[in-house]
Amino acid sequence: MVSGDGLSKPLCFKIIMQKRKMERERNKITSVCVYCASSTQVASAYREAATELGRLLGERNLRVINGAGNSGLMCAVSDATLAAGGTVTGVIPRFMVEQDWCHKGLTDLVEVDSMHERKQRMADLSDAVIALPGGCGTLEELLEVITWKQLGLYLKPIIVLNTQHYYTSLLHQLQHAVDERFMRSEHSAIWHVADTPAEALQLAQTTPLWDKSVRKFAAM
């Protein structure tokens, strides 16, 4: 027998079961930590991708965890998330609040004593990390959380959003580290790369959690 959409009933059933299986296999994430730049001087393509990611996170009711900045891509993600009906928790050191660098319209603002505590708190609050393009601070955050995952200290998905091929050279450097045996080949599965915000979110929801047993090969 054929259904109204032209598919046989057995095929329709199979498709439905596959969709249900995919839903079960999705990570049960409720919050995403977003690393990104505070610079206001970047090309519009970067801001557009940040805004799109924020919109998608807001529409899916996924809380954004970020550094509470009031400028650049960080602000763009926050504003787009809030405009889409979502929530944003910003984590920021007190010295930055004193410099008036914090976004004043966030859902929640968490003040901490240091940059180190900021990174730890952001990781603790998140179910996944998505790294947008950024400068030294963003690169440092990304490489540190990759290191934590290598050591089995952070087990959740890490997604690199490679807008405008921004991260291609860094990804090549990481592969070079594997090729030169400064890292194991298994370590290249620590992060996943997306070309679009939609792909980044899909990877965050479907990438399997890391296993603490990776500690046994953390050192070469």
Domains and CATH numbers, the chain: 29-210 (3.40.50.450)
Q: How far apart are CA 192 and CA 160, in angstroms?
A: 6
- β-strands 88-93, 158-161 pairing: unpaired
If you search the block for the tokens 């965050």, which residue do you land on? 204
Instruction: Give the residue-averaged pLDDT of 22-43.
Output: 85
131: amino acid identity, one letter = A
Q: What is the pLDDT of residue 28?
A: 87
Residue pLDDT, tens place only, 95-149? 999 999 999 999 999 999 999 999 999 999 999 999 999 999 999 999 999 999 9
More confident residue, 216 or 91: 91
Residue pLDDT, tens place only, 193-213? 999 999 999 999 999 998 877
More confident residue, 196 or 22: 196
